Amino acid sequence: MPCSSGRGDIIANKPKTLNVLHNKPFALLWSGQSISFFGLAIYYTCLPFLIFHVGGGAVELGLAHSFFIIPQIIFLLISGVYVDRWSKRKVLIICDVIRGAAVLGITLLLLSDMLVLPHIYILTGLMGLLSTFYRPAVRGIIPRIVRKNQLISANSLRSISQEVSEMVGPVIGGTLVASIGLYAAYSINTVTFLLSALFVSFITLQSEKRISEQNTPTSFWKDFKNGWNAIRERAWLGASILLGSLSNIGIASFDVIILPVFAEMSFSGVETYGWFLAALAIGALSCAALIGRLERISHRGILYYAFMALSGVCVLLLSLTPFLTLALLLLAIIGFSLTAFVIIWDSAVQELLDEKVLGRITSFQMFGGLALLPVGYSLFGYLIENLGTTLSMSLAGLIIIIVSLLGLTNKKIRQLD
């Protein structure tokens, strides 16, 4: 059973988002997560400059991102089994300590002028590997420290801290690099990961030892099969993981490939792209603040795919607008919609599934989303070069819409309440 401090009681039917912070274990987890998000935002902002510092260019930057993704594709289906076996609290602490130590190593190499490209590839590969344990552990630990009627607020708060970090982190990271140097940014980065580990270390889970003692040793393949069966037994879950992976071809390609090119080709380039990202973040923050006030969401299956479809419609409309103001409005709606279906999904999975399999379920979902990314990126890179940005964006929107409609044809998904 989830444990709480007893002070986070819900008032009326629509609690304020911040009420869940009265739950001390979650408050510690959220504080650590917020610091960790901030550290990751600085890390990814500084990564291109780190590569340029050692003489690399666009090709080397692409390789670094590949080193981040490849370990996830290889290890995700394995890591979920072990996350469900181990103490999720300890997994989070160990991952943050290792990340802090790795970034500290980069800092020392920078100061001694010994940094070379292979060091960066090893670092990004390690970051990718650790994320295969970290993200399933976070998803799995939340239902253990908050009540079911707090799940929406908890996931909304995590979305808020992530969005704020992604807005503020790059600004601070860029300022540090420009005014002091890379070593300063990575020094602060080291501190953020270690502080995150410190906050999580103060979380107490009274039932953790008892659950560990009740678990009998089983084989890896049996645990893997049990996780797979948990998906097969729930038609809405298996279908949503598959459809989510397909929709990610359009969503991720729009976000990573199409949008920056659209800003460059249709408006004034990097300055406009900054406004685009800000509009997405404002929409996401508005959504998290609004949904976080709810104790319960009805018709979750329908709403999940309705918000997905709405994001697709806005991507399609965005390809047709020459006006910056309208483009920013559509992007804010896209940010709102994407955040809405992420919070709805996370809360539904955490509420309806046994916490003992959440690590494996999260790993399967992450694997599905990542496995098709190289296909999507390559496809839309080709389409932009040969068909242009407008048509490519329209196709991305249509993919998202079609996948959403397929989800709504599934009776089990429509019945998910």
Beta-carbon contacts of 176 under 8 Å, excluding residues fewer than 6 positions away, are 42, 46, 184, 185, 188
Measured CA to CA, the distance from residue 411 to residue 142 in angstroms comes to 29
pLDDT of residue 11: 34
Answer yes or no: are the C-beta atoms of 50 and 333 closer than 8 Å.
no
Tell which CATH classification among 2.160.20.10, 3.40.50.980, 1.25.40.10, 1.20.1250.20 matches the domain 220-414: 1.20.1250.20
pLDDT of residue 216: 56
- Residue 215: CB atoms within 10 A of its CB come to 10
pLDDT of residue 405: 92
Answer yes or no: are the C-beta atoms of 9 and 153 closer than 8 Å.
no
Tokens of 1: 């059973």
Per-residue model confidence as pLDDT tens for the chain (417 residues): 334 333 333 333 444 666 778 888 888 998 988 888 888 888 877 887 788 888 877 677 778 877 888 888 888 888 888 888 888 899 999 999 999 999 898 889 988 889 898 998 898 899 889 989 998 888 888 888 888 888 888 888 888 888 788 777 777 777 777 777 777 788 888 899 999 999 999 988 755 554 444 455 678 788 888 888 888 888 788 888 888 888 888 888 888 778 877 877 777 655 677 688 788 888 988 888 888 777 777 788 888 889 999 999 999 999 887 788 898 999 999 999 988 888 888 888 888 887 788 888 888 888 887 878 777 877 887 888 888 888 989 999 999 999 999 988 888 777 776
Measured CA to CA, the distance from residue 337 to residue 67 in angstroms comes to 30
pLDDT of residue 76: 85
CATH 3.30.450.20 fits 17-214, yes or no: no
Q: Domain ranges for the chain, please list them.
A: 17-214, 220-414
pTM of the model: 0.77
